[in-house]
Every structure is written in structure tokens, then in C-alpha cells.
């Protein structure tokens, strides 16, 4: 005998009820986050006990525990056992955040054009605002990065290493930005470009023109930043991004041909 179907309205209500029940831990997790912000709690501060949270939010022990597991998985709290243990507010590191974002894009086949579309927009504007604002210590650190890859790369592996070092120059610049979101995005793009270069073997064969001219752009940019010439810094970075995109696309094409991509 066939099982009778529920009326459509009742079936929709049942599905909504199920979703509502399933989302209870998420709702509690969000409520705890809002409470932490409202109380101006800082990393290392201890959260209320499980019993206190049950009373505060009016949910069962299972729901509270699942909510805490969600927050721990998100990296927003740490749990310690033993004397003095409990759940503590935890700050998500930028390194972990960039790694999670990288995992998100792992199967989305980002292209060189995708990456440089953003770099060409963001990095010239960033250095425009940094010109004349960097102290001698930071300028010295940036120059030291360019010194690390001053020698002509002799192998494809050396070329890959030079490329990674060159990207740390851009990440270091991004650390100086007052706009934290802008700095984060640029550092993430540097990470992503490094991963794309390695995973797609874009350093084979070595590209001496990309190494030489790319380093020259960085050295000229340092001069403009030191002199406080905002427009020149912007123009140099813009040219640098356009040049780098062009050669990276050519490199990608050569690698595809070399490894039978066509």
C-alpha cells in the first residue's frame, strides 16, 4: 500500500520546521558572537560556562555544545581542559584566513587575467597613498627583498624562488596600508599568484625578462616612494602590473604548449 503524500502546505511547514531545528546551533553561535562584540571581549577572555550559556540562551546542552563546536571550527574560540580550562575568545589569524580562502578558490580555476584584473586596479592606488609615508626601516626592508633575487636565475627552480621573493615585496607594501581590507586582499592575491605559478609550472622555462624588468620596476618604485612622488609611484606600479600580466600570460601559453595543453 503506497504511503500517502502530505499536503503541499503541510510538507513545506515540515521542511521549514526541520531547517529551523537544524539551524538552532547556528543561531546560538551567532548570538554568542554578537554578545562577545557587545561585551567588548578580547582574545583570551573566558566565555561563560556551559550551564550559564544554557540559561542565557534557553537551549539544551546539545545545542550549546554544537554551537561552541561551530565557533571553534571557525577559529573564534579555543577550548582548554583541566584546571583553569573552559572556552576562550580566539582571534583568527590572517594566515589561517588566507589559507581557507585559498581552499575556497582551489577548484575554481582562477586565471592569470583574474588575478591581474584586481592587481592592476588596487596596487597602483595603494602605492599612490604610501608615497612619502614609509620610514627608512620599511624602505630598507623593501630594498633588502630586491637584493635577495639580484642574481640572474640559473634554473627553473631558482626562477620560481625569485618569483616568490618578488611577491613578498608586494605583500610587504600591503602591510603598510592603513586600509586593512585592501592590504589583506593584496596579500591574498600575492599568495594566490604564487600558488598558481607553482601548480601550473609557470616558472618552466625560466623567464629572464620577467625577472630583470620586474626587479627594475620595484627599484624605481622604491625611489618614487622615498621621494614622496605619489603620481610617479602610481604610474610605475601600473606599468609593472601591465608588463607582468603580459609576460605571465605568455609564460602560461609556453607551458601549455610544452606540456601538450593544446
Residue pLDDT, tens place only, 99-149: 888 888 877 878 899 999 999 999 999 999 999 999 999 999 999 999 999
DSSP state of 88: E
The size of the chain, in residues, is 262
| Residues 140, 192 contacting (CB under 8 angstroms) | no
Domains and CATH numbers, the chain: 8-89 (1.10.10.10), 95-258 (1.20.120.530)
Check pLDDT > 60 for residue 195.
yes
Cβ–Cβ under 8 Å, residues 129 and 177: yes
In the predicted structure, residue 1 carries a pLDDT above the cut 50: no
pLDDT in tens, 23-69: 899 999 999 999 999 999 999 999 999 999 999 999 999 999 999 99
- How far is the CA of 99 from the CAs of 69, 93, 162, 221, 238, in angstroms? 20, 10, 22, 29, 28
Say if residue 247 is exposed, middle or buried (CB neighbours under 10 Å; 0-12, 13-18, 19+). middle
Average pLDDT of the segment spanning 152-170: 89
Query: Given pLDDT bands bounded at 50, 70 and 90, which one contains residue 206?
Result: confident
Q: Are 42 and 89 in contact (CB under 8 A)?
A: yes
Cβ atoms of residues 200 and 253 within 8 Å: no
Q: How far apart are the first and last CA of the chain?
A: 58
User: Structure pTM?
Assistant: 0.73
| Cβ atoms of 222 and 139 closer than 8 Å | yes
Higher pLDDT, 42 or 18: 42
Q: Share the mean pLDDT of the chain.
A: 87
Query: Contact, 122 vs 139, CB < 8 A?
Result: no
Amino acid at each position: 500500500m503506497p504511503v500517502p503524500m502530505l499536503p503541499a502546505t503541510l510538507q513545506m511547514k515540515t521542511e521549514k520546521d526541520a531547517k529551523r531545528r537544524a539551524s538552532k546551533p547556528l543561531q546560538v553561535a551567532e548570538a554568542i558572537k554578537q554578545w562577545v562584540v557587545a561585551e567588548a571581549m578580547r582574545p583570551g577572555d573566558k566565555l561563560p560556562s556551559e550551564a550559564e550559556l544554557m540559561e542565557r540562551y534557553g537551549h539544551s546542552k546539545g545545542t550549546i555544545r554544537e554551537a561552541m563546536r561551530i565557533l571553534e571550527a571557525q577559529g573564534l574560540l579555543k577550548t582548554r581542559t583541566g584546571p583553569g580550562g573552559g572556552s576562550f575568545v580566539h582571534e583568527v589569524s590572517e594566515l589561517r584566513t588566507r589559507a581557507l580562502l585559498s581552499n575556497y578558490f582551489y577548484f575554481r580555476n582562477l586565471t592569470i587575467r583574474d588575478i591581474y584584473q584586481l592587481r592592476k586596479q588596487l596596487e597602483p592606488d595603494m602605492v599612490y597613498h604610501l608615497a612619502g609615508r614609509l620610514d627608512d626601516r620599511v624602505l630598507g626592508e623593501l630594498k633588502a627583498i630586491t637584493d635577495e633575487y639580484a642574481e640572474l636565475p640559473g634554473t627553473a627552480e631558482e626562477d620560481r624562488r625569485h618569483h616568490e621573493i618578488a611577491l613578498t615585496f608586494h605583500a610587504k607594501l600591503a602591510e603598510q596600508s592603513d586600509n586593512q581590507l585592501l592590504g589583506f586582499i593584496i596579500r591574498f592575491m600575492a599568495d594566490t599568484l604564487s600558488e598558481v605559478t607553482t601548480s601550473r609550472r609557470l616558472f618552466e622555462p625560466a623567464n629572464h625578462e620577467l625577472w630583470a624588468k620586474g626587479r627594475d620596476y620595484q627599484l624605481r618604485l622604491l625611489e618614487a616612494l622615498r621621494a614622496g612622488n605619489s603620481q610617479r609611484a602610481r604610474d610605475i606600479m601600473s606599468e609593472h602590473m601591465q608588463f607582468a600580466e603580459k609576460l605571465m600570460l605568455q609564460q602560461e601559453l609556453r607551458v601549455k604548449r610544452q606540456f601538450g595543453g593544446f
